[in-house]
Amino acid sequence: MTSIQIPRGTQDILPGEIEKWQLIEEKARDLCERFQYSEIRTPIFEHTELFLRSVGDTTDIVQKEMYTFDDRGDRSLTLRPEGTAAVVRSFVENKMFGGATQPVKLYYMGPMFRYERPQAGRYRQFVQFGVEAIGSNDPAIDAEVIALAMSLYKELGLEKIKLVINSLGDKESRNAHREALVNHFKPRIDEFCQDCRSRLGKNPMRILDCKQDRDHELMKSAPSIIDYLNDDSKKYFEKVQQYLTDLDIAFEVDPNLVRGLDYYNHTAFEIMSNAEGFGAITTLCGGGRYNGLTEEIGGPEAPGIGFAMSIERFIAALEAEQIKLPINEKIDCYLVSLGEEAKDYTVGLLHKLRLAGFSAERDYLNRKIKTQFKAADRSNAKYVAILGEDELKANKITLKSMETGDQTEMELNTFVEKFIELARQ
């Protein structure tokens, strides 16, 4: 019988590797608490219309990558390909805009789904951590959102990263830029891929994000959005840059940075890895401002900004820089027993240690005492507690430090209390 294997583009995250994920998630939650962002959890699938309205029907995500299906009521549903649309939908539906605390600052963490060609650091099911700040058009919160993302990478040791920013301007600026792009590409649009041809009339800025034609000479000479920013957009972008400088966050301005989603305007940014051998896809994190998105999905005006980062790519960047995360791989105590009655007694003793807050383990394979010690060593146990038939009768237990080899005999009936005192030293 043929064995069933994991679907293409997915992965099992096994013990030994999952601890890295847990540490990153814990650090992300800690940072969000410091920055005053609260967690939100939205469904894994949403009505397809949500992504058509928000992400945009000219994007690769909507055109090629969404997992869409009809349910039994013939409703079109889609596994979420990104997190912002669902968070904004929840913001509108639950009337968070009416709360006393504004802006509403949220974060999410969970799986996203895109049907794309699997490659290093890119999966069809992947995990994103992201934040959204909705309800303010203050450029200081743009800087805050970027600072949160940079802080997460920095606090876990990444050094070879760079921040790239751009302004996509307001509606007036984008309309002027749009006209310039159409005039630039239209005479030679037949030299471009079919996607670019269809985007020329709908959203010509999306042409700049084309991977297939990115080396075409017209890409390099395309009009820059920076040159079409009106005074308000220029002032906004200058303020964002000023605040980033005030926060000692280094950045580069890249006029070609447009991001892959239609809802962005004003600030757009990416954080990239410069680590040698990291791979062709260098982007670790991307985000930007999305004024107008709440109105697009039926809510009141509420300007927002956010970012999303791939946990998979975060881990790949750590590995590229050979950074070992401070993961606690030790257990506090391993119980070694000799004899049937002693073995039975360790069942209750083990439970008491765990209830007291310690990580503890015992043998479940009836192994000899020497093999139990090897198991304790493989478990990176700080201490081994040894209980035999004679010790049990004498109400004694021996505690051995695996680091120093020192052994101490203790009263069995007060062992847990004594172990607590020892752990506090």
176: left (phi over 0), alpha (psi -120 to 50) or beta: alpha
Q: Give yes or no for a contact between 100 and 110, defined as CB atoms under 8 angstroms apart.
A: no
Q: Are residues 349 and 378 in the same domain?
A: yes
Q: Are residues 308 and 336 in the same domain?
A: no
Read off the amino acid at residue 228. Answer: Y
225 inside domain: no
Q: Are residues 405 and 355 in the same domain?
A: yes
Q: How many CB atoms within 10 Å of residue 342?
A: 21
Highest mean pLDDT among 78-87, 200-209, 415-424: 78-87
Choose among 136, 130, 77, 78: nearest CA to 104: 136
Q: Are residues 389 and 242 in the same domain?
A: no
Residue after which a domain boundary falls, among 292, 320, 348: 320
H-type helices in 164-269, by residue range? 171-185, 194-202, 217-220, 231-246
User: In this predicted structure, what is the pLDDT of residue 261?
Assistant: 62
Quote the CA–CA distance of 29 and 109 in Å, as a whole number.
9
202 inside domain: no
Quote the CA–CA distance of 72 and 54 in Å, as a whole number.
25
Q: Are residues 45 and 141 in the same domain?
A: yes
pLDDT digits (tens, 9 = 90+) for 109-163: 999 999 988 777 689 999 999 999 999 999 999 999 999 999 999 999 999 999 9
Relative to beta strand 283-289, strand 265-273 is antiparallel
User: In this predicted structure, what is the pLDDT of residue 174?
Assistant: 84
Q: Are residues 289 and 343 in the same domain?
A: no
Considering its fold, how many domains does the chain have in total?
2
Q: What is the CATH number of the domain that holds 258?
A: 3.30.930.10
Choose among 81, 206, 281, 178: nearest CA to 270: 281
Q: Look at residue 361 and tell me whether its pLDDT is greater than 70.
A: yes
Q: Look at residue 278 and tell me whether its pLDDT is greater than 80.
A: no
Q: Look at residue 209 and tell me whether its pLDDT is greater than 70.
A: yes
Out of 6-20, 27-41, 65-79, 176-190, pick the least confident.
Answer: 176-190
pLDDT digits (tens, 9 = 90+) for 89-101: 999 999 999 999 9
What is the SS3 assignment for 392? Answer: helix
192 inside domain: no
pLDDT digits (tens, 9 = 90+) for 177-196: 888 888 888 888 888 888 88
Out of 97-106, 146-155, 253-262, pick the least confident.
Answer: 253-262
Residues 6+ apart with CB under 8 A from 157: 318, 321, 323, 325
Quote the CA–CA distance of 124 and 66 in Å, as a whole number.
10
Question: At 282, is the pLDDT very low, low, confident or very high (cuts 50, 70, 90)?
Answer: confident
Q: Are residues 270 and 393 in the same domain?
A: no
Q: What is the CATH number of the domain that holds 339?
A: 3.40.50.800
Question: At 280, is the pLDDT very low, low, confident or very high (cuts 50, 70, 90)?
Answer: low
Model confidence, pTM: 0.89
Quote the CA–CA distance of 360 and 399 in Å, as a whole number.
13
What is the SS3 assignment for 407? Answer: strand
Average pLDDT across the chain, whole number: 92
pLDDT digits (tens, 9 = 90+) for 375-424: 999 999 999 999 999 999 999 999 999 999 999 999 999 999 999 999 87
pLDDT digits (tens, 9 = 90+) for 332-355: 999 999 999 999 999 999 999 999
Residue after which a domain boundary falls, among 281, 301, 320: 320
Q: Look at residue 169 and tell me whether its pLDDT is greater than 70.
A: yes
User: In this predicted structure, what is the pLDDT of residue 81?
Assistant: 95
Choose among 130, 230, 120, 126: nearest CA to 174: 230
Q: Between 119 and 369, whose confidence is greater?
A: 369
Residue 154 structural domain? 18-170+230-320
Per the DSSP assignment, residues forming a β-bridge with 337 are: 387
Average pLDDT over every residue of 70-88: 96
pLDDT digits (tens, 9 = 90+) for 288-323: 999 989 999 999 999 999 999 999 999 999 999 999
Q: Between 228 and 281, whose confidence is greater?
A: 228
Q: Are residues 340 and 305 in the same domain?
A: no
Choose among 82, 42, 25: nearest CA to 261: 82
Average pLDDT over every residue of 258-274: 83
Q: Give yes or no for a contact between 361 and 372, defined as CB atoms under 8 angstroms apart.
A: no
User: In this predicted structure, what is the pLDDT of residue 425?
Assistant: 79
H-type helices in 247-298, by residue range? 293-296
Read off the amino acid at residue 229. Answer: L
Question: At 203, is the pLDDT very low, low, confident or very high (cuts 50, 70, 90)?
Answer: confident
Question: At 260, is the pLDDT very low, low, confident or very high (cuts 50, 70, 90)?
Answer: low
Q: Are residues 152 and 298 in the same domain?
A: yes
Residues in the chain: 425
Residue after which a domain boundary falls, among 258, 292, 320: 320
Q: Are residues 153 and 260 in the same domain?
A: yes
